[in-house]
Chains A and B, each alone.
Chain A
Amino acid sequence: MIKKLGLLALCSLSAQAQVDVLADGTLQTQACAYGRGSTAISGAKAQASAELISFIKGNKSLTTQGAQQHLTSRLDDDAASLYEQQRTTMMEGLSAGAVPLNYSTPTLSGNDTCMTVSLNPQELGEPLQQNWQQTTQNFSVTVIGQGWKKEGKTALTIAEQDALQRAVSQVVGVWLTQQHTQSSSTSMSIAEGNESTSMQELIGQQLSSHSEGLVKEWQTLQTKELKNGGVEVTILAVVEKAPLIQKASKLLSMIGSPRVQVVAPEPLKTELKVWLNEQGIEVGNAASLAIYAKSTVISRGNNRQLYLTADVRDLAGNIYGQWKNDPSFMSLPKGPYVEKDLMAVHLASESQSKALHSTLNNAFTQVVARGGLVREVMLPSNKLTQPEKLHDVLSTLGGVSDVSIHRQQKYTVASLRFKGDTGELANALDQALMTITAKNLSKITVEDDFTLRYK
C-alpha cells in the first residue's frame, strides 16, 4: 500500500512542471525558451532540467497530493524500485549537471525554441573514479646513437654521447609538450605548431651538450658495427626531470628577456620603451640587440592610418625578425595628434602587441638558435705570432661558432658567435690565445657587448 502511495506521489504532475513518466521509468518534459539558436536551446535545456529536478525533489513529501495528480502510465515494479534507488543520485547529479539527460532535436514554436528532455534512471551508472597518475621523478627512454672515430675520441664514445644527447632531447620534447598543454603562460609562450617544434629542437640541442648532469644512469642494450668504422649503440637512459626542467626554464627565460636598445624617432621611441618594459623586456643603451622602429602616417581619404615596423638586429647588423603592424586596425580623422593617438591604440591592442611580442621572442630565439650573439675580437696584427692558427683556436673554443677573420688597419678582427655572456667569452679567449700571441699582448678589454679588444 505504501508502495502504491509512493508510486502515486512519484507520478504526480504539478500543473507547471508537466513531467511525464513513461512505462520504463523515463521522466520526460518539454521546455521552451525565447529566441533561436544555441542560446535558446541551452535555455530550454536548463529549464527542462530544472523542471525535472523540481519534479524529483517534489516527491519527497508523500502528503502533498492535490486534485491534479494523475498517472500517465502504469509503472512496472522493477522501474519503480529502480527509481527509488536512483532518486538520490539523480537529485545530486542533476544539480551538479552530471546526470546524462537525453535531448530531442529542437523544434520551433513561434518565437520560441522547444526541447524535450528525458531522464532514464536505468542509464545511471556508478560515478566514475578519477584516476590520478603518479608523477614520476625520472624518465626512461631507449635511444639509438651513432658515431665515427674523430679527434682522439673513439667511435663508441661518440656514439654513446650522441645517444645520450638524443635521450635528453626526447625528454625535453615531452616536457615542452606538457608545458604547452598545462599552461599557456610560461615565461615564454610556446606557441602552436612549428614554433613549438623548433623550440623543442633548439632547447634539446642546447641542453644535450650538458647531458652528463641530466642523465642519471644508462646502460648499453646493443652495439652494432657500421661501415667506415662507425658504431651504433642502443642504450636505455634514465633522465632526471628536476634538473632538466630547471635548465630548460633558465634557457627559456634567457631567450625570453634579453636586453635591447630602441632606435626609433619620438614619440615612437618612448611608446615602445614603455611597452617593452611592460612586457618585461629590459631596455638599455648598452644592449647587444637593438630594435629599429619606424612609423608613418598615411592618408585614406579624410582619415589617417598608421604604419609601424620594428626589426630586431644585433650590433653586426644581422636582422633576426621583423614586425609590421596592421594599419587597418584603426583609422582616425586627420588632426594634430593623430599619430600619437594611433600609436597608443596600436600598442594597447592585444592582437598587435601579441604579434610584436611573438616577433621579438622569435628574434631572440633566432639569436640562440644561430649560436648566440655576434662578437668582434680585435687583435693587434703584429702581436699575433701564429695568425694562421687563429681560426682553428677560436673554433675549438666551447660555445663558439661561425668564426670569420678579416683585417682592419692594424688589427686582425675575428667575428664569431658565442652562446654565453661577454665576460665568459673574454675569459675563454685569454686562456686560448696565449699560445699563438706575443707575450706582451695586453689584457683583453671589453668595450661593449659587441667588441673585445687587445692592445
Chain B
Amino acid sequence: MKLVKNLTLSALTIALLAGCNTSPKQGSTTQSGTVSNNASNTVIAKSAYEFKDADIVMPAYFDTQGLERCTFDINSEIDSCPLKKPIVRMYFDLAGVSGSGIGVDAMREFDNQNLLLMLENQFAGINRFRIVTRDDDAISKEQQLILQQQGVATAAKRAEVKALIPDFVVKIDSLRTLKTEGAITDWADYTLELTTGVINPQTREKLSHPNLGKIRVKSEDVRDRSELKFTTVSGRYAAGFHFDQSAHVNAVLSDMGSRGIDILLTRMLSEMPATAQVLGIKGNKISLDRGQNAGVLPNETMIIFSYEAGFVEPLGVANVNPSRSSANGEIIRWKDSRAADDVKNKAENGIYRPSNVAKIFAVSVGTPADFLENRT
C-alpha cells in the first residue's frame, strides 16, 4: 500500500515537472481579417474648426522641401523643386464584357471617352499633375478655326509649340459586373471596380505611388434599388428598369463611373497632400510660400509643424486659403505642447519669421471638408 502511494506520488511529481517543461505561449503579430466586398466611400478632412488637441497629428506623405531650387517657370522646373508636377496622359479602360445573359448585351456598348474627359477635368482641377488631354477632336477643331480666322501664318506659328510629353501614364482599369437573381421580378445589381496604375511609358514600370487602392462602386450607391427593379416574361423584358437597353444601362454606369472618379480624387488628395513652407506667423495668421501653384485648395485644413534635425513637431491646425503663388491661413487651434507655446509666444507681438534651422511647414490632411459639396 505504501509502495502504491509512493508510486502515485512519483507519478504526480513527474507529471507536474513535465507540465512545467511546456514551452511559453508564442506571441503573434498578425490576425485574420475579412476581405470586404462593400462599396468604397470617401474619406475627407475634418474642418480645422472641429479639431481637438489629440487630432493635431502629422498626416502621411508630408514634405519639407523648400522652393530654393525652383525657377518658377513651369516648363523648366527641376526634380528637386516641389512645384514640379509630373506630366501625365490619362486612360480610362473598360474591360470588355463578354458572354451572354440577362442585360449583358446592353452593358457592352459603353462609351468611355466622355468618362475619360471628365476624369481629365477633375484631375486637372486638383493640380497634382499636368495633364495632356486626349481630346483630339476639340484641338483639331480649334486649329481649323484658327486657320479660318487668323490665316495660315498664324496657324503655322502656333503649331510650332508642341504638345507636352507625358512623364507618366495614369490608367484607370475597370471591371463591370452584373448580378441578377433570375427571378421573374428581379433587380439589376451592377458593380464597377476601379484601380489606378501610374506607368512610366519608357520603362513600363508601374509606380508604387500614389497608391489609390481599389474603388468599388455599386449601382445601389447611385440609384435606389427600386429604380433598378424589372419584370421578365419568359426571359424577356416586360416592365420596370430597361436592363436590355444600353442608354438606360449606360446612364447608371456613367453615374457609377462619376462616383468612382470622385472617390479617386479624395484618395489622391490624401495620397499627395499639399505642402507649403510657413514664411511668417503673426498672431494666429500664417503666410505660406505656395498657393494654387502647389495645389493648395480653398478651405484647406492644414497641420502646421516645425521641422528640426529630422524631427517633426505638430504645432497646430489651420484653415488655409490660397492665392496664386502664396497662401494665407489662420491657426484655429494650437497644439497643447511646449514647442507650440514657444512659437505662439514669439508670434504674439509682431511677425515671427522661422529661422533656417527650425523651419515651419504646413501640410494638408486630405480633401477639404467642403470639396465634395462644391466640386463634385
Residues of A participating in the B interface, judged by any CB pair closer than 8 Å: 35-38, 40, 108-111, 300-303, 328-333, 335, 341, 344-346, 348-352
Contact = CB atoms under 8 A, between A and B. Distances in A.
Contacts of B323: 111
Contacts of A301: 136-137
B72 A36 contact: yes
Given A36-B67, A333-B144, A352-B156, 14 more contacts: A35-B72, A36-B293, A38-B73, A108-B67, A110-B279, A302-B140, A330-B155, A331-B139, A332-B143, A333-B140, A341-B144, A345-B159, A349-B160, A350-B156
Nearest to A335: B144
A110 B152 CA distance: 44
18 contacts: A36-B72, A37-B73, A38-B71, A38-B72, A40-B72, A108-B326, A302-B136, A302-B137, A328-B162, A328-B163, A331-B136, A331-B140, A333-B137, A333-B140, A341-B147, A344-B152, A348-B156, A349-B160
Interface string B123-166: 00000000000001101110110010000110111011011000
A110 B289 CA distance: 6
Given A108-B289, A341-B147, A332 B140 contact: yes
B259 to A, nearest CB: 29
Contacts of B287: 109-110
A64 B367 CA distance: 59
Contacts of A36: 67, 70, 72, 293, 325
B217 to A, nearest CB: 29
A349 B143 contact: no
Contacts, number: 79
Nearest to B71: A37
Most buried by A among B67, B147, B323: B147
Contacts of A348: 152-153, 155-156
Instruction: State the majority secondary structure of interface residues on A.
Output: mixed
A350 B160 CA distance: 8
Nearest to B163: A328
Contacts of B206: none
A368 B133 CA distance: 48
Interface in B208-239: none
B69 interface: no
Nearest to B288: A110
Contact of A111 (B152, B153, B159, B325): B325
Interface in B324-358: 324-326, 328
Contacts of B153: 348
A330 B143 contact: yes
B279 A350 contact: no
B216 to A, nearest CB: 32
A404 B206 CA distance: 61
Contacts of B139: 331
A67 B328 CA distance: 37
A61 B246 CA distance: 86
A300 B71 contact: no
Contacts of A329: 159
Contacts of B136: 300-303, 331
A270 B136 CA distance: 30
Given A37-B72, A331-B136, A111 B67 contact: no
A341 B143 CA distance: 11
B101 to A, nearest CB: 32
